[in-house]
Structure 1
Amino acid sequence: MGEVINVVVAFAVIVFIFRWLTTSNDSPSERSAADTLGFRPKPVSQDMIDTISNMFPDIPPDNIRYDLLRTGSVELSSNKILERGFLDPPPPAYFTLYPRDANPEPAGRPAPAGGASTTAVKTKPSLIERYNLQERAAQAGPEISEEQIGGKAVWEDSAEKREASLKERKAQMILAARQRMLAQQEKSATS
């Protein structure tokens, strides 16, 4: 009976020493992050978060970071969004390691509607403003036919002429889309 007790005590001491040696190699921040989250977090850069955020602007950045901490891969996280349509929200323990910023939205991205953000929402300029077509839109000249818009472009000799031709086709497409939208609005207003 005494030998059994000696074997059990020796086994417990060996296990204790083994655990002490294996956990002392990790840095304290990694150990606490792994203990807090329940997994060892992978390195995540802001570029990785921005890449997914640009592809899927409706996914919250905290969900993106949490999934990237788990997978460590932009591709795996993107595939998960494409397959499921969402990413799991992080647990409350996540916010002890990665507290929310006072201004979570990156510059240039509007805050979600109904959000808690008190800052003013920056709106994107319309296509008319972006391509400086205000004068042409205000003229409301003859309607642009579908043949003019979708017709084949003529291959120009120089890159400058091709660029000018492309700009003009873009302008025609934008103005035609505006005309269709205004006609649709008038139609819905009369009915």
Structure 2
Amino acid sequence: MGEVVNVLVAFAVIVFLFRWVTSSSESGERSPADTLGFRPKNITQDMIDTISNMFPDIPTDNVRYDLLRTGSVELTSNKILERGFLDAPPPAYYTLYPREPTPSSTANRSSNSNGDATPKKLQETLISRYQLEGRVVDAEPVVEDRVGGKAVWEDSPDKREASLRERKAQMILAARQRMLAQQEAKS
């Protein structure tokens, strides 16, 4: 009977040592709980979007980190309302959840086949946006009274839209003429 107990104890020790050796060899693959220092809650993208829509000035990483801790949109939003901010995540957080580039930063950092940054797209002017190039060439002085005057209410929606389009064009051309006059006065 004593020998059976010794065999069982020896077997248990061998199993324990085997588990300990194999778990320590996987040090590169730590669990999220070990990395963050707490067991992260299950969260969805909708939860992150809800908080981000309510508080657009709070960084998304801060929102995700707090939601991982609390698991509740209500608790996170209450914390923001009480404190005015959320704590920044620790550096270990970024090993599990790398930063995703924002749409505006990806547009600015786009690269061509050589790896060089592409030049920014030329800014669209109001003249080109409203297709007023032909009217600029005419260089007809815009009468200021027509630009700021009241529009007549037209009977049909098409006529109202055309009237609005014409008033926009007159305002843009008048602003361009004022800008050119200011530039001439400076030089």
Relative distance call for 1:90 and 1:130 in structure 2 (3 A) is farther
Distance verdict in 2 for CA 1:98–1:128, change over 3 Å: farther
Partner residue in 2 for 1:153? 151
Q: Does 1:106 align with 2:106?
A: no
Retained in 2: the 8 A contact 1:110–1:123? no
Residue 170 of structure 2 aligns with which residue? 172
Separation of aligned partners in 2, 1:131 and 1:160: 17
CA distance in 2, matches of 1:87, 1:144: 55
How many angstroms apart in 1 are the aligned matches of 2:143 and 2:106? 33
| 2:128 maps to 1:133 | no
Distance 1:38-1:29 versus aligned 2 partners, 3 A rule: closer
Q: What is the letter of the counterpart of residue 108 of structure 2?
A: A
Tell me the matched-pair count: 137
Would the aligned equivalents of 2:32 and 2:96 in 1 still touch at CA under 8 Å?
Answer: no
Contact 2:33 2:39 in 1 (8 A): no
Deviations 1:129-157, CA, capped at 9 Å, x for gaps:
11111111222211331x21111110000
Shift of 1:111: 2.2
Any residues of structure 2 matched to 1:65-144 within 5 Å, and which? 65-69=60-64, 70=66, 91-100=90-99, 104=101, 106=103, 111=108, 118-144=117-143
RMSD, aligned CA: 4.4
Alpha-carbon distance between aligned partners in 2 of 1:151 and 1:109, rounded to the nearest angstrom: 44
Q: Match for 1:64 among 56, 59, 68?
A: 59
Give yes or no for the alignment of 1:183 onto 2:178.
no
SS at match of 1:184: helix
Query: CA separation in 1, counterparts of 2:39 and 2:175?
Result: 52
Give the residue type in structure 2 aligned to 1:66. D
Flag the 1:67–1:132 CA change in 2: closer, same or farther, 3 A. farther
The sequence identity of aligned pairs, in percent, is 44
Residues 64-122 of structure 1, C-alpha deviation per residue, up to 9 Å, x if partnerless? 3224424769xx7xx99xxx9x9987653443233245xx353798528xxxx823323
SS of 2:153's partner is coil
Higher Rg: 2
CA distance 1:130–1:93, shift in 2 (3 Å):
farther
DSSP 3-state at the match of 1:166: helix
CA distance in 2, matches of 1:149, 1:171: 9
Question: 5+ residue gaps in structure 2?
Answer: 1-29, 68-72, 110-115
